Every structure is written in C-alpha cells, then in structure tokens.
Amino acid sequence: MDQLRHDTPWTALDALEAEAIFILREVAAETERAVVLFSGGKDSVCVLRLCEKAFRPQRIPFRLLHVDTGHNFSEVIDFRDRRARELGAELIVAEVEQAITDGLVRPHGPTESRNRAQIPVLLDALERLGAQAAIGGARRDEEKARAKERFFSFRDSFGQWEPRRQRPELWDLYNAGVHPGDQLRIFPLSNWTELDVWRYIRRERLELPSVYFAHERDVVWRDGQWLGVHAPVVVPKPGEETTRLRVRMRTVGDVTCTGCIPSEADDLSGVIAEVAAARTSERSGRADDRVNETSMEDRKREGYF
C-alpha cells in the first residue's frame, strides 16, 4: 500500500485533462458509433491519449476516421497509420481523391486547397458509418468563431451548425441525446490553448510527426506565408523563388495552405518556448482562415469541423 501514489497537486493540465476524460466517457455512454477524427496532428494525438486514459484497460470504444485530402505530408500519414496500429484501433480513411473520382465533390483545380472539399466527404463518411458523434481536437482559442462553441455541438442531418439551436451546457451535466439523423461534434479540448497542448505532449511524452519540429525544407513565399514545396500541388509559380529554410509547422493540414514558420526549435522545450513567446495566433498561418474574418464561421455552418 505504501508504494501507491497519493494525489499529486491539482494543476491546470490535470483540470483540463479531467474535463476531457469525463466528456469522452459521457460520449461513450450516451451516443452510438462515435468516431474520433484523427489526422495525425498534435491536437488529435492528445485526444487519443485522453481516450486511453478514459477507457484503459478496456479497448477504446471509438473508431478513428481521417478525411485525407490527398495533399498531406507523407510523414504525417505514416505517423497516423503507425499510431492507430499501436493503439489497436480501427482507422477508416475517407479519401477526397476517391470522392472526386466518384463525383461526390468537384475540385476547382489540381492545386486548389481541398479544405472545402473535405466537408461533403466527412459528412458522407459519418453517414455511412452511422456515427452519431464525431470527436475532434478543435479548440476555442483557435479562432473567434469558435469562442462560443460547445463541448457538445449539434449539427442537423446536413451537418450544419446553427448557433441558435445549440443546447446550454450546465455544470458537467452534458445532454448528448439526439434524434436519428442529427449528429454531434464533440470537442473535449475546447478549453485548451496551443500552449496547453504542447505542455501536455511534453508531460505525456507523446510522439508527434517530425514536421512539427525544425527541419530544412524548400519553401516559397505565397499569400503572406511560407509554403513547403510539394510537387505537384505546391510548385513555384512564375515570379516565386524557392528558398531553403529551417522551418516547422504549427498545424498540419492540407499542404496547399499550411504555412511553415522559420524556427530553430527541434525539440519540445524549444517549441514550447517559441509558442509561449509567439506573436501571432496559430491559425494566422493558414491561408484558408485569412480569406476573411468570418470564413471559419461560414465553413462551420456548412458542416466543416
């Protein structure tokens, strides 16, 4: 008995972790066939660790789903597959490429961002899986339109978010009951900031795709940010010049719009120091969000995560 641990002091990370574990357990109990959206990105890596904490030694009661735009960093895809295997989880990949072939979505051009194209592919996958809930790693601090997002966000059968239809969330008494056809998006990391995520990754010693740490990469300056050269979708246009820089990614999304930032941070402590001192918010590195102030709100209404 003496070897058993007593409670350690209750830190901010403990409080955020406890909130998320509680939510994941409520989702498992109150919804059918929930999936975790797993991209291999840092936020979803945290969500998977929280699932382990919520359900071990049982298996995690959710399947993993990734909507693959086909424009992803190969390191991230390899990592995604490996992590799912390690967890013994079933990973379902819904491919935008396939959806284009099937005529579900129509691309505007070969080098266009496929963020918007993800929406119908995600909705189609959720419908085919019969998933009542999709759990994601989105955080309220990412963007203004998310500041009022609920932990349990209601979407109609078209995946649309209607601010007026959202339910009040009192204490930790979550109501996840939905009608057939309606869906929930669940955001257990709602109250986390970018810095919390990094501190949690350090505390939990979580592995991440290498693109999150400083590395040499050929980049071009486009739309006010550095984009990694990634043939054939990101190649220098006339007038653009390829530069080799030491960079890292703050988010891992579609290669056509995920900016790199010049960085020397090649380990977690380095990244944490950089994030703590950062002078721009995380999504300022994503061209898709900068189109206009309310672009996220618009995409959310359409069913984007």
Applying CB under 8 A, which residues contact other proteins? 1, 4-7, 9-13, 15-16, 18, 21-22, 25-26, 28-29, 52-59, 140-141, 144-145, 147-148, 163, 166-171, 173, 175, 177-179, 190-191, 193, 195-196, 199, 202-203, 272-273, 276-281, 284, 293-294, 297
Residue 42 CB, nearest approach to other proteins (Å): 16
Contact 135, 89 (CB under 8 A): no
7 or 241: whose CB is closer to other proteins? Answer: 7
7 or 216: whose CB is closer to other proteins? Answer: 7
Residue 285 CB, nearest approach to other proteins (Å): 11
Residue 15 CB, nearest approach to other proteins (Å): 4
Residue 168 CB, nearest approach to other proteins (Å): 5
Alpha carbon distances (Å) from 64 to 37, 134, 159, 254, 271: 6, 9, 19, 19, 27
CB atoms within 10 A of CB 234: 21
Specify the pairing of strand 243-249 against strand 259-262.
antiparallel
111 or 281: whose CB is closer to other proteins? Answer: 281
Distance between CA 50 and CA 41 in Å, rounded?
15
CB atoms within 10 A of CB 297: 16
Q: Where are the beta strands (DSSP E) in 8-127?
A: 35-37, 63-68, 91-95
217 or 299: whose CB is closer to other proteins? Answer: 299
Distance between CA 224 and CA 131 in Å, rounded?
39
Distance between CA 65 and CA 94 in Å, rounded?
7
Helix (H) or strand (E) holding 77: helix 74-87
DSSP per-residue letters across 23-43:
HHHHHHHHSSS-EEE--SSHH
Q: Helix 12-30 vs helix 194-204: angle between axes, to the nearest 10 degrees? A: 90
25 or 215: whose CB is closer to other proteins? Answer: 25
CB atoms within 10 A of CB 21: 17
60 or 121: whose CB is closer to other proteins? Answer: 60
74 or 157: whose CB is closer to other proteins? Answer: 157
98 or 281: whose CB is closer to other proteins? Answer: 281
Distance between CA 12 and CA 209 in Å, rounded?
26
